[in-house]
Amino acid sequence: MTELNGDSKDLRISRDKGEQGIIDRQKFIEEREVDIDWLKKCLYPNEAVKGNIEHYFGTAKIPIGLAGPLVIEGDHARGEFYIPLATTEGTLVASYNRGMTIIRKSGGCKVKIFEEGMHRAPMFRFTSLLEAQKFIDWLKENRKGMEDAVATTTSHGRLSEVDIYNLGRTVYVRFGFYTGDAAGMNMVNLASYSICKFIQKTYPNWIAVESFHLASKFCSDKKYSQINILKTRGKKVTAEVEIPRDILAEMLRTTPERLNSSFIDGTLSCMYSGATSNGFHAANGLAALFIACGQDVANLAESHADIWDLRLTEKGIYFAITLPSLIVGTVGGGTNLPTQKECLNILDCKGTGKSKKFAEIVAGVVLAGEISLVGAITSEEWVSAHESLGRNKE
Confidence of residue 10 (pLDDT cuts 50, 70, 90): very low
Residues 6+ apart with CB under 8 A from 31: 11
Complete domains list, the chain, with CATH? 64-116+234-389 (3.90.770.10), 122-213 (3.30.70.420)
pLDDT at 6: 44
pLDDT tens by residue, 269-317: 999 998 888 999 999 999 999 999 999 999 999 999 999 999 999 999 9
Angle between helices 143-151 and 129-141 (to 10 degrees): 70
pLDDT tens by residue, 20-79: 899 999 999 999 999 999 999 989 888 889 889 999 999 999 999 999 999 999 999 999
How far apart are alpha carbons 268 and 271 in whole angstroms?
5
Rounded to two decimals, what is the model's pTM? 0.90
User: Which pairs with CB-CB distance under 8 Å and at least 24 residues apart come from 198-201?
Assistant: 198/145, 198/146, 198/148, 198/149, 199/139, 199/146
Confidence of residue 222 (pLDDT cuts 50, 70, 90): confident
Active site residues: 89, 296, 386
